[in-house]
Structure 1
Amino acid sequence: MQPSLSQEQLQEALQKSAQPGQYARQFLEQEQARLNQAFETTDIQVLVRARAELVDRVLIAAWSLFGLAGREGVALVAVGGYGRAELHPCSDVDLLVLLADDPSQPVRDGLERFVTFLWDIGLEIGHAVRTLDECVELARADITVATNIMEARTLAGSDRLREQLEDRTGPEHMWDSAAFFAAKWEEQTDRHRRFNDTEYNLEPDIKNAPGGLRDVQMIAWVAKRHFNADSLEALVDVGFLTREEYGVLRKCLDTLWEIRWQLHVLTERNENRLLFDHQRQLATRLGHEDSDANLAVEHFMKGFYRVALALSVLNEMLLQLFDEVILRANEPEQVRPLNRRFQVRNDYLEISHPDVFKETPSALLETFLLMAQNPDLKGIRAATVRSLIFHRRLINDAFRADPANNALFMQLLRSPHSLFSLLRRMKRYGILGKYLPEFGGIIGMMQYDLFHIYTVDAHTLLVIKNMRRLRYEDMREEFPLAVDVFYRLPKPELLYVAGLYHDIAKGRGGDHSELGADDAIAFCQRHGLTPWDGKLVAWLVRNHLTMSVTAQRKDISDPEVVYEFARKVGDLVHLDYLYVLTVADINATNPTLWNSWRASLLRQLYTETKRALRRGLNNPVEKQDWIDETRDEAMKMLVDRDCDAGAIETLWANIGDEYFLREAPRDIAWHTEALLQRDTPDDPLVLIRESSQSVLAGGSQIFIYTPDTRNLFSATVNALDSLGLTIMDARIITSADGFSLDTYIVLDEHGTPIGEDLARIEQIRKTLTETLKHPERFATTVSRRMPRRNKHFDVPTRVVISNDLTNDRTAVDIQTLDRPGLLAHIGRIFMRFELLVQNARIATLGEKAEDVFFITDLNGEPVSDPALCQQLQQTLIQELDDKNGQS
């Protein structure tokens, strides 16, 4: 696409204009608008080069405008991406003013006005003014400078200067192929490390992250240095790329260019990060639409992640190939056979001849099994990787149904070595997604939220990794119970199959647990597992969320909750497998999700369920037995501390059974002793300690004893929020004589208990005590802003109200956008409706709050009026959705 004015016409127009800067700015804006309008109908390669040509014309005209054209010993040179004639709407324009010697004063003056002009017309320029000798010295010292010079082209002035620079900085004089490759590989390794060595970041950088534009440029730079190839396609002619690989590379590069073009247009700046702020709009701009199962933004990001993975694998394979075949071609080799199909060359696995996979397709799986059986191998040779990728097309229905191939895959799952890393290799090379098409469907699939920070395929393999880690004793400190349980599993491979399939049906619509269970059964039948094994795996997939939901959203201090969960589990074998799967799953979902509190909830549920199973499902524990046992244990502890039994009984007489059902004996003893010994009975009592001293290990306990008031919950949670504490659990119990005995489990902003920070503990105690002296003065104050990422999510409020008939209270299940001050606001709504919060389970999952409140009316009765329930539901939805719209 040619600009509307030729070079000569533009130069003449600038010379004649009274305001050349304004003219040039308007020309750029009009021409860029024309390019943007052509996006739908024009090849992106044409647009990218048209943008570069547009800028060329403006720069050349400006060079002439300021009297620099025709000057001897000075040249205007495009470098970097601009040197490749590749520009996006807001890309930096990298320029080198190349001088033969120090410039004269007229040249200095002209250059100064030239650079100022470019900034004034809105170009983002990166420029350097250097002599030829300076450039040579800098290139010798800095690989980045040497790389930029490789892509230089002359825009104006002496082309001979650039040719001299190119010659003096060529591989004959500095940075030969080996040195250049080593430096660039180290540079790439450092760059990838900054992005956690993954293509799957939530807000990926399409330029610098693994699988981004830099990885394509890396291939081109290394090959250009060695082959002097001027384009990616030229690498096919020199045998470095196959025609098919070039096609994949070109298609992926075009996709990234299209995304980057629209990202620049949308943000009006040189933005390369796919922030949540932009992902939805980009999806729409690039033609994606919502489907029944997935949002448009999820379709868009899945396509991006697949492109990034493909580029990353190509980059890895080609650079390894370059290293092996070109740089190490003359090194001595040690080759030993493994079998008729494979051999080991210098500690790397390779096929024994080029037609191995064609003649024996099962060798596609055997490759990875041999890697598992020979843990000393450093990797797979690049040529074998290339052959694997090419021949993966041989994996079809007949291949998948072949018992020999099924046996190979099960051998891999039973291997003691490197299962996660090999499954990850199989995914990267496209083998796993072909062998298990259902897994292929989730590769690159993302869920548009802050809870699931990995794509479904990456999460799935991390689950396997977490399971494998439990084999090691050094994991015992972090996962003591899980390590013990893992060792008892009779067939760990069943756990791995459940891990592979637990989320495999996401994105299809419907219940992914049920659909995944069907897939798992089919897998087990095809791979020769017994019917009992298949049923266990399917049960685990179907119920993989049950334990975490029960632990986090139900009152597991209630024996009936434990009994119902035990009935669903049925026996200790199912409990053991489910516990390990749950621990591995939570840890692979989001690093911030697993904390000491969630660990303690799962441990408590596991322990109580195991006890219930041993007692027998036909012999459930009675609530009164539980209460009596708790009172007796607490009394024994207190008497051992020389507390007066009569005073204890007098204090407990007005508290009620609910307290002894919900609290642990050690905590009751702690509370009681403090209540009996306090010096100021009219002031609120606030106790704080690590809950690791009780069965509620994993958070900090805050116990409050104070006269009950309607706004007590709101005032308390607002004070805790202002202190930067996250509430994980709340128990609110009102005694017969009008006092509230409340226990809050909290974590600090880092997701850890408060610890032994005495100053911090005293600050919390003082703030709460002052708040609770006059809770009626409480007013919601939100000092913290909503996190940037949360603002870009539409989380419509859902409220489900049901009666918990067993415990005579009403459950209010609220799902809404998380934001500072949320709990205090909900508490004020309950107060307005004259409702009391008796218990609460608090969970924040990414941008979403999923909280359950157990409430009663002022008489301690469930809310039985349907009209009141409907009004409460509507008020919560309306007010919390109004909050969604606020910053």
Structure 2
Amino acid sequence: MNQVRVSKQRAILDRRALAEAIARRVEDRGAPAGKGARDEVVEILRDGLDKGREELRRRLEDRPHAGHECVAGHAFLIDQMVRLIHDHVVEHIYPVGNRSEGERLAILAVGGYGRAEMAPHSDVDIAFLTPTRSAPWCEQVIEAMLYLLWDLGLKVGHSSRTPDDMVRMAKEDVTIRTALLEGRYVWGDQALYEEARQRFWAEVVNGTERQFVAEKLAERNARHKRMGDSRYVVEPNVKDGKGGLRDLQTLYWIGKYIHKVRSAAELVDVDLLTAQEYRSFRRAEGFMLAVRSHLHMITGRAEDRLTFDLQRQVAMRMNFVDRPGKSQIERFMQFYFLQAKRVGSLTGVFLAHIDEQFAQTRARKGLLAGFKARPRSVRGYRVFGGRIAAPGDDWFQKDPVRLVEVFQVAEMEGLEIEPATMRQADRDSRLITAEVRDDPRANALFLDLLAGRNDPETVLRWMNEAGVFGRFVPDFGKVNAQMQFDMYHHYTVDEHTIRAIGLLSRIEKGELAEDHPRSTRLIHKIASRRAAYVAVLLHDIAKGRGGDHSVLGEGVARELCPRFGLTDDETDLVAWLVRQHLLMSATAFKRDLTDPKTIEDFVAQVQSVERLRHLLILTAVDIRAVGPGTWNSWKRQLLGELYDAAHERLRLGHMRHGRKERVTAKKEAVRELLGEDAGLVDRHAADFGDPYWIAEPEDIMALNLRQFDSARHARDDLSVHCEVYPSRGATLVSVIAADHPGLFYRIAGGIHLAGANIIDARIHTTRTGWAVDNFLVQDPHGQPFHEPEQLRRIETAIGDALANRIELVPRLARRPLPHSRAKAFDVRPRVIVDNRASNRFTVIEVNARDRPALLNRLARALFDGQLVVHSAHVTAYGERAADTFYVTDLLGEKVDAADRIGAIEGALLEAASDRRQAELEEA
């Protein structure tokens, strides 16, 4: 966009020296078009290209943030190559003494190459201009040049057009128009280039400015949607992602198209950017160009996605280092997201100014031509055309509390903020001092905004873009652009938090009743809605500080809540919610909800129905705001079951029914579900013990009894039944087989081989020695298996595994993970053995890197340790799996001997280790 002077050009490529070397070689050979001479010319060119690239690589290593210099250097290198090749072809291969008018050729660089911004492995986009279509000499030269460029291994995007073709095609296609907008003369007939350039501006651009802006913005929006529609996705695309290079380029294209600017610096001259904003523009652009160049050099290809495995390497190359509480990767990515955020701010202001400029030139016509609408005043602000504006340039300087007020008024009135006012807020945000932060009026306004009834999410995002949010709540400023280096969280901490606030607002308005029916009901029963919003704001506020963010966050909450104006009771509630915001999900997803001790322990922590309501709502929005697909019906069901059981206990002070009454009630409910087959309950009641009747839902018991009865009549040693279980968002796999040691790990292995992931398992043994095991499984995308072929594959795989027809271990080890990028993370396995979480069972939780057949290997280790698994609960958090087992020894007792617990921990750590996985893959 701004031509960067490339220093020490001859150290990159000495064109004169190479041209002389080529001329000597041609003269020696005497046959410039022959294969031998051609190969030798290519060798000279390739040697020059390789040395030039090596010099540019060395320069980037010496100055790893010098993005502009790197891309300008690569553009210079390709310019010199194109000029050398052109001169060689027209002088040695197709020389013409006196060229006719039609034997003229101009070479243009277009696209990124036209901007003189080339990452190391970018495409070489070239346009050849010829006076007429029928130009045999031109065609020969173009063909020879292309073959030489291809021989050098360059990926060339090329076109050959006359000025007439160029004008016609540019009018029809906005992509061609954009490429030509950045057309740059490289070599050849300069007069022909000038003719084409003047015709482009006169015949294509003139009068189509509005259309071009509309098309580029539509194109940008479609690209954002394709890339995740957030600039805070944790694996961003540096080129095409939101807040990336393409967004900066779009600003330049629009400015150039409308105002004919030749460089980004001239956007200041036409009042689209201030000088300070332009400096931000250049800083963000330079950093992202450097990141992109490093990506290309590391991978050896045109790689623009900053994936987890590449983030570490780029951070190291750009000299980011670890700091207390933040790894080098998190510091690098935080800096990246701050630049992306700045791009977003610049884009908003820029486009609003474009809109204003268009509005000023739009002539009024018709009956309303003489009518001029008057702005209205709201609390001293000027409101016009759906936008709120500060009445003067010193408005915020006179009263800095207005920096909060303008956003609160915008949210309450449903207004956008005028771009000049956003620019003022950004400029004056430094006026927010400790005095302003402690001002009761400012805090009341902020709380009104946070818990606004219209659209607090959007306005808080504007407030964040302007830098006001982070200055008014410095603890939030610390998590601004804070990345979480894992595959579970999709967004930065600030973006996750703002999205969660938006979800809470939508739940309150009833917009998400289908996905969150309980939360939609409960939010209107809580005593303090503002406490709910503050809890969402603060739940992750202490991330990146090097300790338990829940504990540290509780301290932040106790400082901030009184400042915001919350009462002592509200402060205690928010502090508890922040401290315990992971309690409900950990209990629901990792513990057996049919075990009374699970509910007792959970209720002992929660202590009140009000806290329980708030915790369910906070848990729901926290999970959903993690990213697309993280909230599903399975999680909703588990959280609902935990809420209902805890609510009953809190309301009554005890469980409504004792064990005997619960079993009787369950049997009666199953009889009703079975209808004509109700007799199966009495026929098989003696086979199943009380734990079975308590543990399983009524609908699954009804299915089990029909399947069990059918299998006994048919004298089948194995019965496998699969069906979609919509209420759980999973597929139910019920296996009835003669019980024997190792049954569970073999079934788990068969299910994994069929391509399914187990998310929950309950294992039962009847008094007559039959295993009745129920598994809930999903595909790698978290969806149920529902195709008949998929269900048959599960049944066949389980049968093969139990009959020893397949070798489970090596085949499971070779199965690829759905997320192979998990290898980019250091997940150390951890085993927790807890004898207090259940009255009947020892509870073992294993945290490890998710990988093929992890559950199978852990179950095998438990089998080898002579333990009986009664239930298993499987949760995945991106690259990390958390598997929980309820076990006893062979006599049905808890495992409490210290030496045996130590042996079990060792065996499970070995089964979960990366080294063990590598050994299995090699085998």
State if a TM-score over 0.5 links the two structures.
yes
TM-score (norm 1): 0.93
- Taking the aligned partners of 2:132 and 2:700, their CA distance within structure 1 comes to 83
Q: Is the Cα contact below 8 Å between 1:178 and 1:327 reproduced in 2?
A: no
After superposition, residues 217-256 of structure 1 pair within 5 angstroms as 217-256=249-288
Cα deviation for residue 174 of structure 1 reads 3.5
Equivalent residue letter for 1:370: V
SS at match of 1:170: helix
Match of 2:321 in 1: 289
Q: Return the match for 2:68 from 45, 48, 55.
A: 45
Cα deviation for residue 605 of structure 1 reads 0.5
Equivalent residue letter for 1:523: L
Match of 1:662 in 2: 695
Q: Is the Cα contact below 8 Å between 1:634 and 1:666 reproduced in 2?
A: no
Tell me, yes or no, if structure 1 residue 338 matches structure 2 residue 377: yes
Equivalent residue letter for 1:262: H
After superposition, residues 572-611 of structure 1 pair within 5 angstroms as 572-611=609-648
1:512-533 superposed Cα distances (whole Å, 9 cap, x missing partner): 1111112122221112211001
SS at match of 2:313: helix
User: Cα gap change, 1:445/1:131 in structure 2, threshold over 3 Å: closer, same or farther?
Assistant: same
Q: Is the Cα contact below 8 Å between 2:539 and 2:550 reproduced in 1?
A: yes
1:360-381 superposed Cα distances (whole Å, 9 cap, x missing partner): 3222122122222222x3x222
Q: Return the match for 1:680 from 694, 698, 714.
A: 714
SS at match of 1:842: strand
- Taking the aligned partners of 2:550 and 2:49, their CA distance within structure 1 comes to 54
Match of 1:35 in 2: 56
1:138-167 superposed Cα distances (whole Å, 9 cap, x missing partner): 122122222222322222221111111111
1:806-847 superposed Cα distances (whole Å, 9 cap, x missing partner): 544333211112122222222222233333222211111111
1:772-802 superposed Cα distances (whole Å, 9 cap, x missing partner): 5669986663374223322322322222234
Q: Is the Cα contact below 8 Å between 1:600 and 1:698 reproduced in 2?
A: no
Q: Is the Cα contact below 8 Å between 2:231 and 2:340 reproduced in 1?
A: yes
User: Cα gap change, 1:864/1:405 in structure 2, threshold over 3 Å: closer, same or farther?
Assistant: closer
User: Cα gap change, 1:494/1:59 in structure 2, threshold over 3 Å: closer, same or farther?
Assistant: same
SS at match of 1:387: helix
User: Cα gap change, 1:540/1:75 in structure 2, threshold over 3 Å: closer, same or farther?
Assistant: same
User: Cα gap change, 1:93/1:738 in structure 2, threshold over 3 Å: closer, same or farther?
Assistant: same
User: Cα gap change, 1:329/1:559 in structure 2, threshold over 3 Å: closer, same or farther?
Assistant: same
Tell me, yes or no, if structure 1 residue 713 matches structure 2 residue 744: yes
Equivalent residue letter for 1:815: N
- Taking the aligned partners of 1:7 and 1:762, their CA distance within structure 2 comes to 67
Tell me, yes or no, if structure 1 residue 781 matches structure 2 residue 808: no
SS at match of 1:112: helix
User: Cα gap change, 1:500/1:470 in structure 2, threshold over 3 Å: closer, same or farther?
Assistant: same
Cα deviation for residue 171 of structure 1 reads 4.8
Q: Return the match for 1:200 from 224, 232, 239.
A: 232
Cα deviation for residue 637 of structure 1 reads 4.7
1:597-637 superposed Cα distances (whole Å, 9 cap, x missing partner): 11111101100111101121xx4678xx2244213540575
- Taking the aligned partners of 2:860 and 2:752, their CA distance within structure 1 comes to 15
Q: Return the match for 1:16 from 24, 27, 36.
A: 24
Equivalent residue letter for 2:16: E
The worse-fitting range, judged by mean Cα deviation, of 671-680 and 707-716 is: 671-680
After superposition, residues 252-331 of structure 1 pair within 5 angstroms as 252-326=284-358, 328-330=360-362
User: Cα gap change, 1:679/1:399 in structure 2, threshold over 3 Å: closer, same or farther?
Assistant: same
The worse-fitting range, judged by mean Cα deviation, of 4-13 and 650-659 is: 650-659
- Taking the aligned partners of 2:878 and 2:216, their CA distance within structure 1 comes to 37
Tell me, yes or no, if structure 1 residue 356 matches structure 2 residue 392: no
Q: Return the match for 2:152 from 121, 145, 163.
A: 121
SS at match of 2:540: coil
Match of 2:28 in 1: none
Cα deviation for residue 308 of structure 1 reads 0.8
Q: Return the match for 2:242 from 203, 210, 214.
A: 210
1:340-371 superposed Cα distances (whole Å, 9 cap, x missing partner): 63112222222222221222322212212222
Equivalent residue letter for 1:20: V
Q: Is the Cα contact below 8 Å between 1:74 and 1:100 reproduced in 2?
A: yes
Q: Return the match for 2:440 from 383, 386, 403.
A: 403
SS at match of 2:872: strand
Q: Is the Cα contact below 8 Å between 2:68 and 2:290 reproduced in 1?
A: no
Q: Is the Cα contact below 8 Å between 2:670 and 2:681 reproduced in 1?
A: no
- Taking the aligned partners of 1:168 and 1:551, their CA distance within structure 2 comes to 68
- Taking the aligned partners of 2:785 and 2:154, their CA distance within structure 1 comes to 51
The worse-fitting range, judged by mean Cα deviation, of 460-469 and 407-416 is: 407-416
Q: Is the Cα contact below 8 Å between 2:61 and 2:317 reproduced in 1?
A: no
Q: Is the Cα contact below 8 Å between 1:596 and 1:752 reproduced in 2?
A: no
SS at match of 1:146: helix
Equivalent residue letter for 1:526: R
1:649-687 superposed Cα distances (whole Å, 9 cap, x missing partner): 674445433323323455445534553454223423444
Cα deviation for residue 594 of structure 1 reads 1.8
User: Cα gap change, 1:411/1:805 in structure 2, threshold over 3 Å: closer, same or farther?
Assistant: closer
Q: Return the match for 1:495 from 516, 532, 544.
A: 532
- Taking the aligned partners of 1:313 and 1:129, their CA distance within structure 2 comes to 39
- Taking the aligned partners of 1:786 and 1:688, their CA distance within structure 2 comes to 23
Match of 2:605 in 1: 568
- Taking the aligned partners of 1:128 and 1:650, their CA distance within structure 2 comes to 81
Equivalent residue letter for 1:54: L
- Taking the aligned partners of 1:749 and 1:122, their CA distance within structure 2 comes to 38
Match of 1:856 in 2: 888
Cα deviation for residue 483 of structure 1 reads 1.0
Show structure 1 runs of 5+ residues with no match: none
Tell me, yes or no, if structure 1 residue 365 matches structure 2 residue 397: no
Equivalent residue letter for 1:241: L
Tell me, yes or no, if structure 1 residue 828 matches structure 2 residue 870: no
Match of 1:809 in 2: 841
Q: Is the Cα contact below 8 Å between 2:869 and 2:886 reproduced in 1?
A: yes
Q: Is the Cα contact below 8 Å between 2:455 and 2:502 reproduced in 1?
A: no
Q: Is the Cα contact below 8 Å between 1:712 and 1:775 reproduced in 2?
A: no
User: Cα gap change, 1:658/1:110 in structure 2, threshold over 3 Å: closer, same or farther?
Assistant: same
Cα deviation for residue 239 of structure 1 reads 2.9
The worse-fitting range, judged by mean Cα deviation, of 95-104 and 248-257 is: 95-104
Tell me, yes or no, if structure 1 residue 509 matches structure 2 residue 560: no
1:29-55 superposed Cα distances (whole Å, 9 cap, x missing partner): 112111211224454333332222222
The worse-fitting range, judged by mean Cα deviation, of 587-596 and 805-814 is: 805-814
Cα deviation for residue 295 of structure 1 reads 2.1
Q: How many percent identity over aligned positions? A: 32
The worse-fitting range, judged by mean Cα deviation, of 114-123 and 855-864 is: 855-864
Tell me, yes or no, if structure 1 residue 794 matches structure 2 residue 826: yes
- Taking the aligned partners of 1:674 and 1:259, their CA distance within structure 2 comes to 59
User: Cα gap change, 1:805/1:174 in structure 2, threshold over 3 Å: closer, same or farther?
Assistant: closer
SS at match of 2:228: coil
The worse-fitting range, judged by mean Cα deviation, of 802-811 and 231-240 is: 802-811
Equivalent residue letter for 1:213: L
User: Cα gap change, 1:218/1:327 in structure 2, threshold over 3 Å: closer, same or farther?
Assistant: farther
- Taking the aligned partners of 2:867 and 2:379, their CA distance within structure 1 comes to 77
Q: Is the Cα contact below 8 Å between 1:79 and 1:149 reproduced in 2?
A: yes
SS at match of 1:206: coil
The worse-fitting range, judged by mean Cα deviation, of 721-730 and 506-515 is: 721-730
User: Cα gap change, 1:473/1:236 in structure 2, threshold over 3 Å: closer, same or farther?
Assistant: closer
User: Cα gap change, 1:847/1:217 in structure 2, threshold over 3 Å: closer, same or farther?
Assistant: same
User: Cα gap change, 1:15/1:577 in structure 2, threshold over 3 Å: closer, same or farther?
Assistant: same
- Taking the aligned partners of 2:792 and 2:806, their CA distance within structure 1 comes to 23
User: Cα gap change, 1:87/1:535 in structure 2, threshold over 3 Å: closer, same or farther?
Assistant: same
- Taking the aligned partners of 1:157 and 1:682, their CA distance within structure 2 comes to 84
- Taking the aligned partners of 1:217 and 1:777, their CA distance within structure 2 comes to 55
Equivalent residue letter for 1:600: Q
Equivalent pairs, count: 876
Tell me, yes or no, if structure 1 residue 62 matches structure 2 residue 89: no
TM-score (norm 2): 0.90
- Taking the aligned partners of 1:130 and 1:416, their CA distance within structure 2 comes to 58
Show structure 2 runs of 5+ residues with no match: 1-6, 26-36, 365-371
The worse-fitting range, judged by mean Cα deviation, of 802-811 and 319-328 is: 802-811
